[in-house]
């Protein structure tokens, strides 16, 4: 099972796979942590009375934050090239680059 994950993520080894998962996990957690003060500063909770609309806008704010944080965290772990390829693939999917 672990070997399938190593192959799926194009990891060089099990340790590299662990680093990849660590970068993804830290990036997600930090993105959520950073989005809270941004949401408070924008005061969107009071602007949108509907919780679903509030969550929708929070997700819209988290997505670009996550992309930036992912590259920063990956750089700290020496995995910039790996995650830059991942980032380019994501940007191509949402049609921001060719």
pLDDT digits (tens, 9 = 90+) for 38-90: 888 988 778 878 888 888 988 999 999 999 999 999 999 999 999 999 888 88
d(CA 3, CA 49): 47
Choose between 93 and 74: higher pLDDT: 74
The answer to whether residues 91 and 97 touch, using CB atoms and an 8 Å cutoff, is yes
Longest dimension (CA), the chain: 48
The pTM score is 0.83
């Amino acid at each position: 099972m672990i070997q399938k994950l190593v192959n799926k993520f194009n990891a060089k080894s099990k340790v590299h796979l662990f680093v990849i998962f660590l970068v993804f996990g830290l990036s997600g957690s930090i993105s959520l942590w950073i989005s809270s003060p941004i949401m408070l500063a924008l005061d969107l909770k009071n602007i949108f009375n509907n919780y679903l609309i509030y969550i929708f806008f929070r997700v819209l704010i988290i997505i670009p934050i996550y992309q930036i944080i992912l590259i920063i965290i990956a750089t700290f772990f020496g995995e910039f090239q790996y995650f830059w390829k991942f980032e380019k693939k994501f940007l191509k999917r949402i049609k921001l680059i060719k």
